[in-house]
Amino acid sequence: MLIAITRPVSPSINRCELTFHDKEPIDISKAAAQHAAYEACLRALGVRVVSLAVEPDLPDAVFVEDAAVVVDEAAVIPVMGAPSRRPETDGIAAALAEYRSLKFLESPATLDGGDVMRIGRRLFVGASSRTNAVGIDQLRAALAPFRYEVNAVEISRCLHLKSGCSYVGRNSILVNREWVDVKQFAGFELIDVPAEEPGAANALLIESVIERAVEDVVEGVVEDVVDDVVIVPSAFPRTIAMLEARGFAVRPIDVSELQKAEGGVTCKSIIFNADEPDS
């Protein structure tokens, strides 16, 4: 089954890191409600949500994606690029240890999981202000025994690689080419975000590998969907319409408060395939 690790919005989120966004007040109640709706959306799609304890003193802790890189055989725990965020990895490592063997990157490596776009056995890693060349090399070495290919991607004017591109299934990458150098993406279909919506390339693919229990569908606990679903912020109607016109099943979701914290829809979960841990 698909598992999503999440963490509640921290009450200190107004002290979050900001790199390309100006500071705007974040309504914590509204952010928490939007995060709950995001988790409900995942559950409705058949994903088992594992919500960790709140981290009141770690403003960016809701953005769990940055604290790990999970592949089928292992979970890699990075040294996060922002020093304020480094304590976030402790709780994430403890949670992931239930499902995967752990590998740890070491200083001077820095890497944020939001810089890693995995497509099958290929990992594209953004050379961002958070992820350095040593981090990319150490990730490559950590995953070499499992035969993953790791390629660096140049990015500019955005926080993470996945601020500017996401794999949306069907061999397609949704991308803002103003922010991401696409030369590593030969062989994939590139879908450009509309110019009016430069931030819309962060989309979350939920693949239809989910085995939905028939009784859960009958009782309405999960939806009877068979297609892959792409979760896209409702702030990007042109992108949603474009993807739907191309035949993608899109689920719009309001994440406006966490967008003020430079977050998107991928950042708020770590999603991977696993059996239930042994109790």
Q: Is 158 a catalytic residue?
A: no
Instruction: Decide: is 201 part of the binding site for ligand GLY (CB under 6 A).
Output: no
The count of residues interacting with ligand GLY (CB under 6 A) is 11
The tokens of 197 are what?
């919506």
Cβ burial of 191 (10 Å; 0-12, 13-18, 19+) is buried
CA-only gyration radius of the chain, Å: 17
Residues of this chain, 146-175, that bind ligand GLY according to CB under 6 A: 159
Of 125 and 240, nearer to ligand GLY (C-beta) is 125
Of 45 and 265, nearer to ligand GLY (C-beta) is 265
Binding mask 7-26 for ligand GLY (x = CB under 6 A): ---------xx-x-------
In the complex, minimum distance from the CB of residue 88 to ligand GLY, in angstroms, rounded to a whole number: 10
Of 115 and 210, nearer to ligand GLY (C-beta) is 115
Binding mask 78-107 for ligand GLY (x = CB under 6 A): ----x-------------------------
What lies within 8 Å, CB to CB, of 139 at 6+ separation is: 69, 76, 78, 105, 111, 116, 123, 125, 150
The tokens of 148 are what?
């993953």
Helix H or strand E encompassing 134: helix 133-143
The tokens of 191 are what?
């879908």
Catalytic residue among 16, 35, 160, 165: 160
What lies within 8 Å, CB to CB, of 121 at 6+ separation is: 147, 148, 149
In the complex, minimum distance from the CB of residue 101 to ligand GLY, in angstroms, rounded to a whole number: 26
Cβ burial of 147 (10 Å; 0-12, 13-18, 19+) is exposed
Q: Is 267 a catalytic residue?
A: yes
Binding mask 234-273 for ligand GLY (x = CB under 6 A): ---------------------------xxx----------
A 10 A CB-CB count for 265 gives 23
Instruction: Decide: is 63 part of the binding site for ligand GLY (CB under 6 A).
Output: yes
Instruction: Decide: is 55 part of the binding site for ligand GLY (CB under 6 A).
Output: no
What lies within 8 Å, CB to CB, of 249 at 6+ separation is: 225, 227, 228, 229, 230
Of 89 and 172, nearer to ligand GLY (C-beta) is 89
In the complex, minimum distance from the CB of residue 115 to ligand GLY, in angstroms, rounded to a whole number: 11
* Category of 46 on φ-ψ map: left (φ > 0), alpha (ψ -120 to 50) or beta: left
Instruction: Decide: is 60 part of the binding site for ligand GLY (CB under 6 A).
Output: yes
Q: Which residue is nearest to ligand GLY (CB)?
A: 17
Calpha distance 164→198 (Å, rounded): 8
Of 200 and 210, nearer to ligand GLY (C-beta) is 200
Please give the residue ranges that form the binding site for ligand GLY (CB under 6 A). 16-17, 19, 60, 63, 66, 82, 159, 261-263
Q: Tell me the catalytic residues.
A: 160, 267
